[in-house]
Amino acid sequence: MAEKPSDLILVGRVAGAFGVKGEVRITSFTAEPLALVGYKTLLREDGQVGLTLTGGRAAKGGVVARAQEVATREEAEAFRGLKLHVPRSILPEPNEDEFYIHDLIGMDVVSLEGDLLGTVKSVRDFGAGDLLEVAPTTGEAWWLPFTREAVPEVQMDAGRIVAVRPDEVE
């Protein structure tokens, strides 16, 4: 049975073929790139199997892997751009005061005084660090830098993030 897309964590993206024997280059979004090989079955955004890794080795920025679904360089190249996910349930629980970025989506964002500012719609990194897209109850969404200054507290158990709006940061 396929996992629900909301239960999936993005862990990598196929960067293309490597060599002529059907190996696939995968850009890893995990702390340890070889973890991708350990997960073995990597899923598409819709929860269906994307690649089933049978082995691999570390490479700059990710891994070079062999997959059951790929036998030739052309087949490997056809997977270029495929986003690869794993079920949230197979990841280890984060340590105290740690969390997965994915877990922030849907959390309430409140001011220092406890007033509701909105909810986290998405988390993006455009190259200068993580940004939280906050969808207010009314009006346009806005971006909140995910820094200690702008987000002094993440209360996972309460399902909320305490934030200082960018226009209020000194």
Q: How far is CA 152 from the centre of its chain?
A: 22
SS3 5: helix
Note the pLDDT of residue 6: 66
Which of the four pLDDT bands, split at 50, 70 and 90, describes residue 169? low
DSSP string, 11-78: EEEEEEEETTTTEEEEEE-SSSTTHHHHH-EEE-TTSSEEEEEEEEEEETTEEEEEETT--SHHHHHH
Tens digit of pLDDT for each residue in 63-102? 999 999 999 999 999 999 999 999 988 888 887 777 788 8
SS3 131: strand
Note the pLDDT of residue 170: 52
Which of the four pLDDT bands, split at 50, 70 and 90, describes residue 3? very low
All structural domains of the chain, each given as residue ranges with its CATH number in brackets, are 5-90 (2.40.30.60), 101-165 (2.30.30.240)
CA pair distance 7, 141, nearest whole angstrom: 24
Note the pLDDT of residue 98: 77
Tens digit of pLDDT for each residue in 12-46? 999 999 998 899 999 998 888 999 999 999 999 99
